[in-house]
Structure 1
Amino acid sequence: MAEYDLTPTLSKFFDRHLIIPLLEFLGGRQLYDMNDIGKAKIKVLQDTKMFDYLLQEYATLTDGTSPPPEIQRKREEVMEDFARISEQKQEILEYFQIPAVQKLIEDVPDSNVLYEQLCKEHNFGSDMLDKIYDWAKFNFETGNYQEATQFLDLFRSVAPTSHSKQRSARWGKAAGEILLQDWNTALEDLQQLKTDIDSSANPTEMDRNSVPIAELLTERAWLIHWSLYVFFNHPQGKDKIVEWCLGSADYLNAIQTLCPHILRYLVVAILANKNKRRQHLKEVKDVIEIIKQESSNYSDPVTEFVISVFVEFDFEKSQKKLQECVVVLENDFFLVGCVIDFIASARKYIFETYCRINSRISIASIAETLNLGVDDAEKWIANVIREARLDAKIDAAKGEVLMGTPALSSYQMLIEKTKNLALRTQQMVNAVEKKAGPRPAPFQEANVNY
């Protein structure tokens, strides 16, 4: 199902280093020709300084043919840069090994105060900040993410908050933590990035330089995409994507304006979150409204499945779409780990929706709808009835599920008895008016015949 592969679309919102894992993943699938994937890797790697990796991919693609001289030349330049910039690293290490400097860093958590004191007492300055940042950036570009994140962390701790490279350092550190698969730290960095972006939209009295709306929209779209790595690997990740995307009009606006394909990940996060499934019923309804609004801009088997179950009540279609969803999720880098939970939850939603509109249900029809054997379907239904505490029982002799009528509370009985009262009152008024003749329109005088 290459038509539903989002890698080309997602790549527009990722740093080049974050694209490489997606291409590696596709290499193990059969969606594209391996030569095409190899060419895509080379194209991405050419804009990095990971030339050893690039040469390896080039050799694989061309069966050992010598790479173009341009690649070799750039590799030599990188090696020269490494020799030169390594001297700066040594200078940085020697400076921060001074006991008085180390003690000051431990005692002063505020980077603004720390920078001022380092400059005043220990001959620190912007040139040293540039060396820290440049060394971190060089390591990131060459694929040494561990070294990069350490020095970016150092940069952010000693640079004033107003420094022009603070935001980019935060982005770089977040990317490094993601590529190191340190999900806890990555989530903290991304959460701080979210705070920084949101603060830019509402500057304080001391900082009135607000960021243009278009730039904020783009940053929010980038943040959502980068966070997909964390959302589907961190234990609380699925809750976070729901919180960020449905809990904020700003991020929802970014999705609807720039990246409606994120709806796929939002739906899966809601349905595959088995620990909080009941609490997410409201989120299911909310995301359905968004899917309906964006149906002309984006749809795939995942969004179509939700509509078929909760809006159209088309269970034959939902069965077909669920099978397509499995293929889509298995070939999606971020969602491949959600397949089992998604299927289990999707089947429960199908069954519960089916139960709400039918009083007698054939177990055979449920088995067919859920793509299960009859015996397996009967066991599965029994488990769902028990777990969801549905008012239902299985008639094994007739092969049916019988839905009970829930007892109504006194409040519900009052609602049921009075819900048509307004309609009946209006009918009586209409009948009286028909006999009495038309009354004047509001705010107009009646026509009087003298």
Structure 2
Amino acid sequence: MAEHDLTKTIIPYLDRHLSLPLLTHLVDFSIFPVEEVQVAQYELAKGTNMFDYAVDLFERVHPDEEVPAEFEGKRQNAVSTHERLQQEAQAVLDVIENPDVAQALRQDKNQNLQYLKDNYNLTLEQITALYNFGQFQYSYGNYSGAADYLYHFRVLSTDNDLNTSAHWGKLASDILTGRWEVALEELNTLRDAIDSRSSASVPGHSAAATEPALIQLHSRTWVLHWSLFVYFNHPQGRTLLLETFLSPSYLNTIQTSCPWILRYLATAAILSRKSSSSPSSAAAPVSARVRHAIREVVKVIQMEEYQFQDPVTSFLKELYIEFDFEAAQRELTLAEKVIGNDFFLGEFREEFLDNARYLISEAYCRIHQKIDIGDLSERLNLSRDEGEKWIVNLIRETRMGADAKIDLEKNVIEINRPPLPIYQTVIEKTRGLALRTQALGAAVARTGQQGGGGSGVAKNEIQAPAVAVN
């Protein structure tokens, strides 16, 4: 499974602290030699202020060597820095946490700064102490404290670059503390900021030196990778992932910068398919984008096959493009192992397998009128008895029940599906055509206004946003 592991591909788009759980996962699953992974863990940890963790890793990697003296010097320096930053930040917090001050603050940040300066002699430089202390707390692993200080800083700061950096740091802190509802809100806020701000406000780049579109592409690429933590832990995350990743701007980012994200897009589409097709889903309606996610994802998989393919994407390709059920069955067997070993997808292995079997059944029933239950069970990698029970439950729980009947004596399923009226076929094929044409015209108009300028993006040139982390 090492050839299908994406950890080395994803880590360059993550912060050091977000990368460490992925490496720990590799150690637990023994996908790579443990010694190599521990070296990578040490290289990441020594760039933070988590000295005890770094020393522990050093002793594992170099059991016969003494711990370098530099660690003790760094530890003492960190202690003194912590005390200084804490005093500076606490002086600001004492003011803004005063009930009288809290009542006096308004939505206008400039007005608030003027009020604090006139009444409490607080300046923007002093407020920046909240940012510095939040960043420092993050560096030694106090993620909850970092989230609090970065939040308070953003309430008052008018510095766009530091505010954007604090957004990234706050999101990372919420992810690492497992506060998924808060992390989702932070992710949405950060994504809106990236989508709407001018080039001067995008972190880590100079507007004079970099094309605005390129800056936005870099930022969206990082958001896609960080959002995987949120979308595969939040209860509604898979549906929200489809809404975001299938939007034109982020789908373009995936195709341009990070085609390996197709694994997670395809998995989310498969996980959402059965629930969105079930009659019981009427109580929780989903958007047309989610209902037709499989169709859209298959198109993208077909277009990007030259850039990326793995058992998950190949399963959908064999099932919906080649209509090769034997090949789809083989790819599903591999995909089950890939999902089980993936850091983000491991806990969804059984649900993925159940939904994938549903897709195979649905596709198989569409092109056959009479189906041998034993044959279909074999294609689902189930025994005859397991397959019979699974198919009966599937027909009972989904819309197939209106068209399918089971003949237990002959051990077959008979499909009686009335033909779709021709006018309905035309409607289905032309649905959304006017909207897509309008969007294409707007895109062409924007390109003309920008003078046709642009620059190619090399994947190894994508830089990290200036996050408030180490």
- TM category (shorter chain) comes to 0.7 to 0.9
Secondary structure of 1:401's counterpart equals strand
Hey, what does 2:183 align to over in structure 1?
Answer: 186
What CA distance in whole angstroms lies between the structure 2 residues aligned with 1:357 and 1:152? 57
What CA distance in whole angstroms lies between the structure 1 residues aligned with 2:260 and 2:72? 39
Hey, what does 2:238 align to over in structure 1?
Answer: 238
- How many pairs align? 409
1:9 Cα deviation after fit: 0.6
Larger relative contact order (CA 8 Å, sep ≥ 6): 2
The aligned amino acid for 2:344 is F
1:327 Cα deviation after fit: 0.6
Of residues 401, 405, 408, the one that matches 1:396 is 408
1:291 Cα deviation after fit: 0.7
Hey, what does 2:166 align to over in structure 1?
Answer: 169
Hey, what does 1:144 align to over in structure 2?
Answer: 142
The aligned amino acid for 1:399 is N
Hey, what does 1:347 align to over in structure 2?
Answer: 357
What CA distance in whole angstroms lies between the structure 2 residues aligned with 1:154 and 1:60? 39
Q: Name the CA shift for 1:140/1:384 in 2 (closer, same or farther; >3 Å).
A: same
1:32 Cα deviation after fit: 0.9
What CA distance in whole angstroms lies between the structure 1 residues aligned with 2:420 and 2:255? 41
1:408 Cα deviation after fit: 5.7
Structure 1 vs Structure 2: percent identity of aligned residues?
Answer: 36
Contact 2:22/2:343, CA 8 A, preserved across alignment: yes
1:368 Cα deviation after fit: 1.1
Tell me the TM-score normalised to structure 1 length: 0.85
Q: Name the CA shift for 1:276/1:211 in 2 (closer, same or farther; >3 Å).
A: farther
Hey, what does 1:154 align to over in structure 2?
Answer: 152
1:384 Cα deviation after fit: 1.6
Secondary structure of 2:259's counterpart equals coil
Output one character per residue of 1:172-204: Cα deviation in whole Å (capped at 9) or x when no partner.
Answer: 111101111101111111101111111125999
Contact 1:101/1:122, CA 8 A, preserved across alignment: no
1:99 Cα deviation after fit: 4.5
The aligned amino acid for 2:136 is F
Output one character per residue of 1:277-335: Cα deviation in whole Å (capped at 9) or x when no partner.
Answer: 46744111111111111100000000000001111111111111111111101111111
Q: Name the CA shift for 1:114/1:64 in 2 (closer, same or farther; >3 Å).
A: farther
Secondary structure of 1:233's counterpart equals coil
Contact 2:16/2:44, CA 8 A, preserved across alignment: yes
What CA distance in whole angstroms lies between the structure 1 residues aligned with 2:394 and 2:333? 21
Q: Name the CA shift for 1:397/1:149 in 2 (closer, same or farther; >3 Å).
A: same
Tell me the TM-score normalised to structure 2 length: 0.82
Q: Name the CA shift for 1:151/1:408 in 2 (closer, same or farther; >3 Å).
A: closer
Contact 1:200/1:211, CA 8 A, preserved across alignment: no
Hey, what does 2:327 align to over in structure 1?
Answer: 317
Range moving further from structure 2, 369-378 or 269-278: 269-278
What CA distance in whole angstroms lies between the structure 1 residues aligned with 2:425 and 2:381? 39
Hey, what does 1:424 align to over in structure 2?
Answer: none
What CA distance in whole angstroms lies between the structure 1 residues aligned with 2:124 and 2:46? 31
Query: Would you say 1:361 and 2:371 are equivalent positions?
Result: yes
What CA distance in whole angstroms lies between the structure 2 residues aligned with 1:143 and 1:93? 21
Contact 1:301/1:325, CA 8 A, preserved across alignment: yes
Output one character per residue of 1:247-299: Cα deviation in whole Å (capped at 9) or x when no partner.
Answer: 2x221111111100111101111111243246744111111111111100000
Q: Name the CA shift for 1:91/1:356 in 2 (closer, same or farther; >3 Å).
A: same
Q: Name the CA shift for 1:388/1:163 in 2 (closer, same or farther; >3 Å).
A: closer
1:52 Cα deviation after fit: 1.3
1:133 Cα deviation after fit: 1.1
Output one character per residue of 1:355-390: Cα deviation in whole Å (capped at 9) or x when no partner.
Answer: 111122222211111110101111111122222232
1:159 Cα deviation after fit: 1.0
What CA distance in whole angstroms lies between the structure 2 residues aligned with 1:393 and 1:98? 71
Contact 2:27/2:34, CA 8 A, preserved across alignment: yes
Output one character per residue of 1:24-48: Cα deviation in whole Å (capped at 9) or x when no partner.
Answer: 1111102111111111100111211
Contact 1:270/1:277, CA 8 A, preserved across alignment: no
1:407 Cα deviation after fit: 5.9
Q: In terms of Rg, which structure is larger?
A: 1
Contact 2:277/2:399, CA 8 A, preserved across alignment: no
Hey, what does 1:330 align to over in structure 2?
Answer: 340
Q: Name the CA shift for 1:96/1:408 in 2 (closer, same or farther; >3 Å).
A: closer
What CA distance in whole angstroms lies between the structure 1 residues aligned with 2:426 and 2:317? 33
Secondary structure of 1:173's counterpart equals helix
Unmatched tracts of structure 2, length 5 or more:
202-206, 279-288, 428-470
Secondary structure of 1:84's counterpart equals helix
Hey, what does 1:121 align to over in structure 2?
Answer: 119
Q: Name the CA shift for 1:413/1:327 in 2 (closer, same or farther; >3 Å).
A: closer
Secondary structure of 1:192's counterpart equals helix
1:410 Cα deviation after fit: 9.0
Hey, what does 1:271 align to over in structure 2?
Answer: 270
What CA distance in whole angstroms lies between the structure 1 residues aligned with 2:380 and 2:390? 10
Q: Name the CA shift for 1:397/1:131 in 2 (closer, same or farther; >3 Å).
A: same
Of residues 299, 305, 314, the one that matches 2:315 is 305
